[in-house]
Amino acid sequence: MTLYAAALENNIATMAAYCRDRGVELAPHGKTTLAPQLFRRQIAAGAWGISVATPDQIALCRSSGISRIFLANEFVDQDAIAWVISELADDRDFEFLCYVDSVEGVHLIADGLRAARTDRPFDVVIEVGYEGGRTGCRSAEAAREVAAAAAAVSGLRVIGVAGYEGGIGHELSDDVLRSVREYLGFVHSVGSELTAAGLVTDSGSGIILSAGGSIFFDEVVEAFSQDLLPGQRPRVLLRGGSYVSHDSGIYSRLSPFTRPGALPSYRLIPALRVWGQVLSCPEAGLALVNIGRRDTPFDEGMPIPEVARRGKDGPLRDVRACSVSQLNDQHAFVTVPGKMDLEVGDWVGFGISHPCTAFDKSHLLPVVDEDYHVIDFIRTYF
Ligand SMILES: Cc1ncc(COP(=O)(O)O)c(C=O)c1O
């Protein structure tokens, strides 16, 4: 699996420019790549910090010198909570926030704070979910109850409200768009309600509203552009992760920057390509290539044959007319239409669908330039 240097640079710069243009902030989701080298580049391009999903990902960020970390998940491990509290006490430059969606979750953090007797506040955002979805308060009443419990704990600050719309659907149908808009409107309304009730604190530059993967972030920006209360703009924190490599499948079809009718002036380029060689052509119209489920994502669509090359340095030819019908652990079944010729030994480059299940396939990704020379390596920590 290779990463294209120019595409990577383009994607990091494009998302940074979009956020700057819209006056919103970005905490790119680090779980997509678990590659601190990329985290640092995203931050250098203007990202506020890095979002993570698990305590070990917090540790990876801490040991990689990332000073602003958003655990966009519930935080219930008491040892990990105690460790974060001590890190906050020891390092005044370390900023941390996490979700909370239950009174029990508030109590777990409160226990940690009581035991530590620190003067650093511990920041949380109330997570708001939707019926049938993942974590998150299902009603404004539940959110109010959790926020009130948190506000009553000395040292605990509720600094905003968050959610995640990306699980609602992986298509742009009217139904999905309606549900996404309704949900984001609900997250915003909970933010307004908690602000009006005095249950959220402005931690510096506005009360936080956070949502946004790499598919509906334009909807998030639109929904969260309204004031929370008259004259009180929220501080919007997006969390896209997949944009960094983009892909040739689901995100190419759905990203606001590449889907049909995409936003002009922003462009994402697929940065990942998986290479394999034809092992056998045992039947007409079938080539077996030596990449499989160990090497490429397949949960959101099969890899997409894009280019092929004969020998070590033959010219690249377009093989987009081919397709993958099946993947075994180490084999791809490539359907080859009549006119295409793939021979044993040919190299085939596949685009991928779904970055989040791509980076975990490799510990070391070669970064290549336009001439396919390896110019760098990106280490991942899965
Ligand atoms: C809570 C949360 N935020 C943000 C993201 C990033 O979404 P994407 O992978 O579409 O960039 C995810 C991805 O699963 C997520 O679970």
Gap from CA of 369 to ligand 1 centroid (Å): 28
Gap from CA of 285 to ligand 1 centroid (Å): 38
Gap from CA of 303 to ligand 1 centroid (Å): 21
Residue of the CA atom closest to atom 7 of ligand 1: 213
CB 128 within 8 A of CB 136: yes
pLDDT at 339: 81
CA distance 110 to 152: 10
* CA distance between the termini of the chain: 15
The helix or strand, by DSSP H or E, that contains position 4, with its residue range, turns out to be strand 2-4
pLDDT at 341: 87
Helix (H, G, I), strand (E, B) or coil at 137: strand
- CB contact set of 291 (below 8 Å; sequence gap of 6+): 274, 275, 276, 303, 327, 330, 331, 332, 350
CA distance 47 to 132: 31
Gap from CA of 257 to ligand 1 centroid (Å): 17
pLDDT digits (tens, 9 = 90+) for 263-302: 889 999 999 999 999 999 999 999 999 999 999 999 999 9
| Residue 51 β-bridge partners | 29, 70
Closest CA to 354 of 243, 220, 267, 217: 243
pLDDT at 312: 84
E-only strand ranges, 192-316: 208-210, 235-238, 272-283, 286-289, 304-309
pLDDT digits (tens, 9 = 90+) for 158-208: 999 999 999 999 999 999 999 999 999 999 999 999 999 999 999 988 999
Gap from CA of 264 to ligand 1 centroid (Å): 24
Buried b (16+ CB within 10 A) or exposed e, 305-333: bbbbbbeeeeeeeebeebebeebeeebbb
CB 369 within 8 A of CB 6: yes
CB 52 within 8 A of CB 72: yes
Q: What are phi and psi of 373, to 5 degrees?
A: -85, 140
CA–CA distance from 24 to each of 19, 21, 123, 240 (Å)?
Answer: 5, 8, 20, 12
Q: Which residues of the chain have a pLDDT value below 50? A: none
pLDDT at 73: 98
Residue of the CA atom closest to atom 13 of ligand 1: 213
Angle, in degrees to the nearest 10, between helices 5-22 and 36-44: 40
User: Probe ligand 1: pick from 239, 268, 354, max atoms within 8 Å of CB?
Assistant: 239
Angle, in degrees to the nearest 10, between helices 103-116 and 140-151: 10
Residue of the CA atom closest to atom 8 of ligand 1: 213
Ligand 1 site, CB within 6 A: 29, 32, 72, 164, 166, 213-215, 239-242, 356
Helix (H, G, I), strand (E, B) or coil at 361: helix
Output 367-372 pairs: Cβ under 8 A, ≥24 positions apart.
367/2, 367/3, 367/4, 367/5, 367/8, 368/2, 368/3, 368/4, 368/5, 369/5, 369/6, 370/6, 372/2
Gap from CA of 30 to ligand 1 centroid (Å): 9
CA distance 382 to 373: 26
CA distance 349 to 24: 36
Q: Which atom of ligand 1 is nearest to the CA of 211?
A: 3
pLDDT at 117: 86
pLDDT at 193: 98
- CB contact set of 216 (below 8 Å; sequence gap of 6+): 165, 166, 168, 180, 184, 256
Gap from CA of 337 to ligand 1 centroid (Å): 37
CB 201 within 8 A of CB 157: yes
pLDDT at 361: 97
CA distance 74 to 365: 31
